[in-house]
Each structure stands twice: as structure tokens, then as C-alpha cells.
Structure 1
């Protein structure tokens, strides 16, 4: 049976790709992934070296496999390599950041950011080869050409963004999750409908050869502080 709204086939199929591992192999795989992913760091100093578009495309396809509400896949990735667009995005972002650091954020928030060393200046928005504006689509077109409501949009977009960050890391690229507030200027610059909500502006490229990160950013909470087991 095929759904007339989204053209989806309701007939179940066998689980196509899952392969069970022996427990010892599971432990090794989990440990190897942890050792790799803990080497991912947020970078604010980027090289202007070009990154081939096909690598970005493959990473986006990985993001598109993320679990999501009703399989509506309520995300859109606006990928920006155009220099004029990046310049305009930087200008608009710095307007918002100037207001933010001038007091809109509040004393407590600014105090929390102090160890990270951020400020209103965002040169990486122009220098990095790629920016990816990540939008959540509140509504999507179905197979019948009509618009329908999407579900669990923030959750779905967040999971897809996590997939994308890991894919880019595995491809040897550095990233920065930038969140100027508000971000509605991205709708205009990227020609997205007002019903789309911008969540993150992802900066992607190679780190500058002299890139540094704040020591504070390497301090991660231990397992006992981030997890509780009920057995």
C-alpha cells in the first residue's frame, strides 16, 4: 500500500544492513570511535584552502540518514561557498553579535563565555571555504504537491546536525557551530521561506596552521556526571 500524501510504501521490509558483532568486537569498536571522536574540536581559526564540493555532498548525504519524525526529514542544508554571500552573512552576524556582547546576553551568559574567548568579530565566516546554514522545515511538500506539517523538527534537525559533524570530522575537516541570535537574516540571504527556521550556521574547512583552541574547551565532564544507570 502506498500513502497518497507522501508516496510512502507501507509494506515492511527485512532489516537490510544490520550486522551483529561479537561482544569483544563491540567493545573495540566503541572504544575506537570514542578515541577518534574525542579528537574533534571546535575551531575558530580557519584556512582559506578549498575543500572539494563532493566531500561536502557525501557528508550531507550521511546527515540525511538521521532518524527523524515520521520520516519527513524536516531539514534543509543551504551550502554557501560564494564569497559575496559569505561576506554578507558575516556582516549580518556581526551586527547581531555586537548587540549580544553589548549587553543583550546578560552578565551571567557573558561570564560563561569568557573562558572560551569569543567576541563580536567573526572573520571565519568569510575565510572558511564553506558555510552550511541548517534550517528546520516546519512544513514540507508531499507527493501530492500539498504542504503538510512536520513533526519533532528541532529534535530531528539536532540529530542530523550531529551526524553531519561526525561525518565532516571523519573526512578530516574542522567545524564550528555558530549560532548568532536572531538568525532570520539567513532566510533572506539563502532565499528560504519564512516558515523555515535557521538553527545553526556551520563553518567548515581546514584549521589554520596556527589555530589554537581554549584549554577550557578540552575539559569534559566524566561519565558519572553525564549519565545515570538504572539496572
Structure 2
């Protein structure tokens, strides 16, 4: 007779496997080191076509997959696109949506907010950059037994994982751009994802072009006193 799994022990916690406590001085140095590094991350819109090895992108996506998420369902999928034909198709579809956006879909207030960044409906970086990573949220996904289950806190989980991915790509020495054409449903079809997948962000990554620039407006960051309250 086949024994049934012991449900009482199946979900028993295990000891924290790899936490290493640091001295307060080491904590300060680590926090400062991360801040000093991440503050050099800038969103760029001019990319080089220099190739980036796939294994680097894979490692960064693995890092993103360690992000905290609702019920540990890991409700995300990363479609990494290096194929020139797919990138060309994505650019054409994205620019079609962007033309409609700038031609009237967006409010005057929204357009005015974008003005300091100098953006428009032309998106050549979608073909130039070596990698596009389309980040999907999965409303439901398969469990280990193959059954589909509802996922929870999908937008929050995907957002955290995206932050991990951006930080990982920056740590690897790559530039990034978070591109969000609206609507983005065309990405579900182009990437061959099921209907219960929703595209959240099209992350562009690669080397910045030698003559890449950023808007001065983008360097203006709020002071700690404006973004945090301590009680």
C-alpha cells in the first residue's frame, strides 16, 4: 500500500540556511557601498549594439527569481529576447501604441510631465539594445503537481522582482531602461504567453552607447527627508 505524505511534517520550517550576521560597522559599510553603487544607475535611451552574453542575463534573472512574493507562488515570467526579428516586431508594435499615446491618448498633464525627459514615439533602442526582457505577471500558474492555482499579490511581487533584476543588471555593468508602452497586450502575443499572463514592463538592457546622454532632470532626486519618515 502506498503511504500518503505526512502533511504534518510537510510544511515544517527549516533553520535559516545562509544568514550571516555582520558587525554594525560592516552593516554601515555594506549599506553605504550599495548606495554608492546603485546611485550610479541611470536610465538611458541610447544603447550600443555590442552583444552581451546570454549567461549574464540568465544569472540576473535567477537573482530576480529570489525576490519575496505572495505565498511563494513566484508569479512571474521573464521573456528574454535577443532575436533581431522579434525585436523588430516589438518595436513596430510599441511605436504604434506610442504614436497613439502622444497623439491624444495621454492627457496634457501626462505629456507635460514627460517633457523634461525629452521622450517621443520613436523607440530605436528596442532594436539596437542586445536584450529586451519582457516581465509578465501570472494571474495563475502551475504548482509542482501540474495543477493551476490562483496567485496572490501579483503586481507587488513582480515589482519587487523587477527591482532585483534592475539592480543585478546594474551590478553586472549593464545599462537599463524600463519601457512601458500602453497598452502592452501585443507583448503577450509576440512572446507566446498564455492569456493569464499580463505584461508589466519591457526592460531594455545592454551597454550604453558611447555618446549616451541623460536628461539633467533625471539627476534631481528627492532628499531623504522628502521620501522617508522615522517615528
Structure 2: segments with no counterpart, 5+ residues = none
Q: Which residue of 1 aligns with 2:58?
A: 57
1:1-231 equivalent positions in 2, closer than 5 A:
9-230=10-231
Contact 1:74/1:153 (CA < 8 Å) preserved in 2?
yes
TM-score, normalized by length of structure 1? 0.96
Contact 1:76/1:137 (CA < 8 Å) preserved in 2?
yes
Contact 1:2/1:10 (CA < 8 Å) preserved in 2?
no
Return the alpha-carbon distance in structure 2 between the equivalents of residues 185 and 25 of structure 1.
47
Q: 1:141 to 1:184 in 2, by over 3 A?
A: same
Q: 1:46 to 1:9 in 2, by over 3 A?
A: farther
Q: 1:2 to 1:170 in 2, by over 3 A?
A: farther
Q: 1:22 to 1:186 in 2, by over 3 A?
A: same
**RMSD between aligned alpha carbons?**
1.2
Q: 1:136 to 1:2 in 2, by over 3 A?
A: farther
- Secondary structure at the aligned position of 1:193 is classed as coil
Q: 1:30 to 1:170 in 2, by over 3 A?
A: same
Q: Which moved more, 1:140-149 or 1:75-84?
A: 140-149
Q: Which moved more, 1:8-17 or 1:37-46?
A: 8-17
Q: 1:9 to 1:117 in 2, by over 3 A?
A: farther
**Displacement after TM superposition at 1:21 (Å):** 1.0
**Displacement after TM superposition at 1:144 (Å):** 2.3
TM-score, normalized by length of structure 2? 0.96
**Displacement after TM superposition at 1:143 (Å):** 2.2
- Secondary structure at the aligned position of 1:61 is classed as helix
Structure 1: segments with no counterpart, 5+ residues = none
Count the aligned residue pairs: 226
- Secondary structure at the aligned position of 1:18 is classed as coil
